[in-house]
A = this chain, B = another copy of it.
Amino acid sequence: MTDRSGAAATPIDFAEVEIDDEFWSSRIETNRNVTIEYQYDQLEESGTLGNFRRVADGKSGGFRGMWFQDSDAYKWIEGASYVLAKRDDPALKEKVDEVIGLVASAQQADGYLNTYFSLVEPDNRWTNLHMMHELYCAGHLVEAAVAHYRATGERSLLDVAIDFADYIDDVFGDEVDGVPGHEEIELALIRLYRVTGTDRYLDLARYFLDRRGGDDRLEWELTHPDEIGGYEYDDGALIPDSESPEGVFFDENGAYDGRYAQAHRTLRDQKYVEGHSVRAMYLYAAAAELAIETDDSSLVEPLERLWRNMTEKRMYITGGIGPEHAHEGFTEDYDLRNDSYAETCAAVGSIFWNQRMFELTGEAKYPDLVERTLYNGFLAGVSADGAEFFYENPLESSGDHHRKGWFTCACCPPNVARLLASLGNYLYARGDDGVYVNQYIGSSVSVTVDGAEVELTQRSSLPWDGEVELGVTAPEPTELSVYLRVPEWCENVRVTVNGESVDAESDEYVELRREWDDDRVALSLEQSVERMVAHPEVEADAGRVALVRGPLVYCVEDADNDRPVYQYLLRTDADLETDRREDLLGGVVTIEGPADVPTLSEWGDDLYLPVERTDTETAMLTAVPYYAWDNRDPGAMRVWLRTDR
């Protein structure tokens, strides 16, 4: 319906992809059985549904939770809809319909929908765009509606979203000229445009994207606290002043500093990833989506520049981003302190952005980063049992950081749920002349390229081994290219087709062009244990190495080691071995090797000794995948291990 004229590749929708994978299937099942069920209960528990009910009942006041709590319901609907897209689940559908009914009943006659403002400050709509998140909630409503419509064909929520979007489009640009403090609606509007074909949504998304960082009203709001909404919330805690933590809204001179909301300059002029990291990711993802949809090449170079700044200067080895707690965001180049904030939602946002950068360019480095983030910075966000979540993902813990069932600000859990429920989106894509295989996750899919259909059946031993088998069958022999991504971590690739070796020299994609009939591709991605070091300007990692194998970053936990984790020094020449441990953490490959630890016997009552009066001895060190940490007894953890350089 829409043209995506800027796209180099088009992803195959998760609804078309059947995942059957040793590593991921159980996680997707747990997400469906546990996480989404649990989150539904939390919607009631946290007062989210009650807020909608109070509005529907015409009540005033009594709002519960965060001022953007509505979005919890929307994100849950979105995740649940992705489940419904894949399987019949009448009980879940009933719950979805119930929540949708509550949402619809809280919509105002003019289309407006926000329970905080309806209950608490009905006269203050759109007065505090910077902090009050009306457009952010609207965006999540739209995404939920699109997901629900695509999953069920039902318009119950889509119509609500359309009414609200139409109303927003009527108001913005005229009555109100400004942009949201928290991006989200931009991407949502483009998705709404895709399902409806209605141009005004695309135009409104473009308005929000182009308007940001120009002469917008965010500064006016921050400097006119008496004239904006939010005062009623928690004693006006949402009205920032120049004493705001770490000067995220204002600089040290009290002057407006738009970086927190990526509003310090227009997107096309931005050089560094700045501010609140989830906001940044949602903005860049939307901009990439706009560039794809409208072939706006002026966005490509700025986005590539921002991507380079992020990946070359401001990203954890796990793919996590945003070190600073105070504003949940980016700080300076090479500030990668290991008590990382690295919010789970920011990892989700980075996956969104990278997927769209791939669609825009067809380059393998983007699915490379999707993979790295999926297996590490993202996956650590949820516990093995699917019921507990990290908001923050430090790379080092003294043992007091643990996942929780829910949060006052519960943005992360439903973001985890909606991503896992739609994981199939990231596996395959359609190019002009063939099919991209981006993620090595066991699955099957039918793809039509230029009218010709092929069926792909993938079996993968990732992340534990690098063996991948791909069956390609066509109803009738069909010539097209199969592009196999060569992961950045892989130094040696071997590819055979029907047992015959093919040339696989590539850093990006191995292209297999041939007439496919009923063929078997075998891909062998060498996985070796690598000791990675960080750039010399990363102070936090000076003298440290991180263990990486295939797509997995490893960490050392107290649970597997006799000494406190900080006592180990892993020499650069120490032999490291891997061990497949079915008994451990649901089955993992560990990395083990000898390390130096201080000999304790010299130490009596002394607190300090000359180095020559002390010694070291050898102790075995065991590392486990980072995503699996904090699933056992509480203890210390570190990714970056001390080494002798």
Hey, which bits of chain A sit against chain B, CB under 8 A?
308, 311-313, 315, 317, 398, 530-539, 542-543, 545-546, 564, 566-567, 569, 572, 596-598, 600, 603, 605-612, 614, 616, 642-645
Other-chain residue from B535, B564, B572, B606 in contact with A539 (beta carbon distance below 8 A): B564
A546 — which chain B residues lie within 8 A by C-beta? 608
Q: Given contacts A596-B645, A614-B533, is CB(A566)–CB(B539) below 8 Å?
A: yes
15 A-B residue pairs with Cβ-Cβ distance under 8 Å, sorted by A, are: A308-B605, A311-B607, A398-B539, A531-B611, A531-B612, A532-B609, A532-B611, A533-B598, A535-B603, A535-B606, A536-B567, A536-B603, A598-B645, A616-B645, A644-B644
Chain B: which residue is nearest A310 at the CB level? Answer: B607
Known: A543-B543, A611-B645. 10 other contacts (CB 8 A): A311-B607, A312-B607, A531-B612, A533-B609, A533-B610, A533-B611, A536-B597, A542-B566, A546-B608, A596-B645
Cα distance, A313 to B608, chains bound together (Å)? 10
How long is the Cα–Cα vector from A564 to B605 in the complex, in angstroms? 34
Q: How far is the CA of A377 from the CA of B417 in the complex (A)?
A: 53
A187 CB to closest chain B CB (Å) equals: 27
**Within the assembled complex, what's the spacing in Å between the Cα atoms of A598 and B537?**
10
Of B531, B538, B642, which one neighbours A543 at CB under 8 angstroms?
A: B642
Closest CB-CB distance, A2 to chain B, in whole Å?
35
> Once the chains are docked, how many angstroms separate the CA of A539 from the CA of B565?
9
Residues of B within 8 A of A569 (CB): 543, 644-645
A567 and B545: CB pair below 8 A? no
| A538: nearest chain-B partner, CB-CB | B607
Instruction: Please indicate the chain B residues that have their CB under 8 angstroms from the CB of A312 in the complex.
Output: 605-607
> Are B603's CB and A545's CB within 8 A?
no
Shortest distance from the beta carbon of A103 to any chain B beta carbon, whole Å = 37
Q: How far is the CB of A350 from chain B (nearest CB, A)?
A: 14
Contact call B610/A532, Cβ cutoff below 8 A = yes
Report A245 CB to chain B, min CB distance, Å. 16
Which residues on the B side are within 8 Å of A530 (C-beta)?
610-611
Report the copy number of this chain in the oligomer.
Answer: 2
What is the minimal beta-carbon distance from A637 to any residue of chain B, in angstroms?
13
Residues of B with C-beta under 8 A to A543: 543, 569, 642
Bound: A598/B534 CA distance, A: 10
Pick from A537, A538, A539, A645 the residue with the most CB of B within 10 Å. Answer: A645
A600 CB to closest chain B CB (Å) equals 6
Let me know if B311 and A531 touch, CB within 8 A.
Answer: no
Asked if residues A598 and B308 are in contact (CB atoms below 8 Å), the reply is no
Cβ–Cβ contact B611 & A572, under 8 A: yes
**A545 → chain B closest CB, angstroms:** 6
CB neighbours of A610 from chain B (8 A): 530-533
Q: Which among A313, A538, A598 has the greatest number of chain B C-beta atoms within 10 A?
A: A598
Enumerate chain B residues within 8 angstroms of A597, measured Cβ to Cβ.
536
Contact A608 B532, CB 8 Å, known A566-B539, A566-B542, A567-B542: yes
Bound CA–CA A642/B30 (angstroms): 44
Whether the Cβ atoms of A534 and B642 lie closer than 8 Å is no
Q: Is there contact, CB below 8 Å, between A608 and B534?
A: yes
A535-B642 CB under 8 A given contacts A542-B566, A542-B567, A569-B543: no
**A603: min CB distance to chain B, Å:** 6
Q: Which of A308, A530, A598, A608 has the most CB of B within 10 A?
A: A608
Separation in Å of the A271 CB from the closest CB of chain B? 15
A567 to B545 CA separation, bound complex (whole angstroms)? 14
Contacts of A542 in B (CB 8 A): 566-567, 642
Distance from A93 Cβ to chain B, minimum over Cβ atoms (Å): 45
Chain B residue at minimum C-beta to C-beta distance from A537: B564
Closest to A311 in B: B607
* Chain B nearest CB, measured from A256 CB (Å): 24
User: In the complex, which residues of chain B have a beta carbon less than 8 angstroms from the beta carbon of A596?
Assistant: 645
A445 to B404, CA, bound (A): 68
Find chain B residues with CB under 8 A from A611 CB.
530-533, 545, 572, 643, 645
Residues in B with CB closer than 8 Å to A537 are 564
Which of chain B's residues have a CB closer than 8 A to the CB of A398? 539
The answer to whether B598 touches A536, judged by C-beta atoms less than 8 angstroms apart, is yes
Assess whether A535 is in contact with B644, with CB atoms less than 8 Å apart: no
When distances are taken between beta carbons in the complex, the residues of chain B under 8 Å from A567 are: 536, 542
What residues on B are CB-neighbors of A572 within 8 Å?
Answer: 611
Report which of B535, B598, B608 forms a contact with A607, defined as CB distance below 8 A. B535
CA distance A600 to B315 in the complex (A): 20
The answer to whether B642 touches A607 (Cβ under 8 A) is: no
Bound Cα distance A192, B2 (Å): 91
The 8 tightest CB contacts between A and B, nearest first, are A536-B598, A644-B644, A531-B611, A543-B642, A539-B566, A532-B608, A542-B566, A312-B605
CA distance A543 to B642 in the complex (A): 7
Give the residue name and chain of the B residue nearest to A530 (CB). B610
Identify the closest chain B residue to A610 (Cβ). Answer: B530
Q: Looking at the assembled complex, report how far the CB atom of A346 sits from the nearest CB atom of chain B, in whole angstroms.
A: 17
Q: For the complex, what is the distance from the CA of A545 to the CA of B534, rounded to whole Å?
A: 22
Question: What CA separation (Å) do A600 and B536 show in the bound complex?
Answer: 7
What is the CA–CA distance of A379 and B176 in the complex, to the nearest angstrom? 61
- Which chain B residue shows the least CB distance to A398? B539
Shortest distance from the beta carbon of A638 to any chain B beta carbon, whole Å? 10
A365 to chain B, nearest CB (A): 12
**A165 smallest CB distance to B (angstroms):** 39
User: Smallest distance from the beta carbon of A568 to chain B beta carbons, Å?
Assistant: 9
Q: Are A608's CB and B317's CB within 8 A?
A: yes
Interchain CA distance A539-B598 in the complex, whole Å: 12
Expressed in whole angstroms, the Cα–Cα distance for A281 and B535 within the complex equals 44
Bound CA span A370–B472, Å: 80
Q: Which residues of B contact A532 (CB under 8 A)?
A: 608-611
A608 pairs with B539, CB closer than 8 A: no
Shortest CB–CB separation between residue A601 and chain B, in angstroms?
11
Within the complex, what minimum Cβ distance (angstroms) separates A540 from chain B? 9
Chain B residue numbers with a CB within 8 Å of A598 are 533, 536, 645
A642-B645 Cα distance, complex, nearest whole Å: 9
Chain B: which residue is nearest A533 at the CB level? B611
